[in-house]
């Protein structure tokens, strides 16, 4: 599994996660669930002819306890 790069998410909404493999994408989804309300672990998909795996979830990053930048 490749390392996960951090990226700031400023608003709640759709988060598209793209990674090299299914395990990496699932790990990112699980990490997002820890501090924020999310739609949960979504199915991981691979598009024919495109590299990497991908998933889409909704994340509410402005839930109570969130400390902004």
Tens digit of each residue's pLDDT (9 = 90 or more) over 7-24: 666 677 888 888 888 998
- pLDDT band with cut points at 50, 70 and 90 for residue 43: very high
- Residue 4 pLDDT: 55
Burial of 8 (0-12, 13-18, 19+ CB in 10 A): exposed
Question: Would you call 34 helix, strand, or coil by DSSP?
Answer: coil
Q: Which long-range contacts (CB under 8 A, 24 or more apart) does 45-50 make?
A: none
CA distance 46 to 17: 12
Is 0.75 topped by the overall pTM? no
Radius of gyration of the chain (CA): 12
């Amino acid at each position: 599994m490749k390392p996960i790069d951090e990226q700031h998410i400023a608003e709640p909404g759709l988060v598209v996660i793209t990674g090299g493999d299914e395990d990496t994408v699932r790990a990112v989804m699980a990490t997002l669930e820890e501090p924020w309300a999310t739609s949960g672990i979504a199915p991981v998909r691979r598009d024919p002819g495109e590299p990497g795996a991908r998933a889409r979830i909704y994340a509410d990053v402005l839930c109570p306890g969130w400390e902004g930048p």
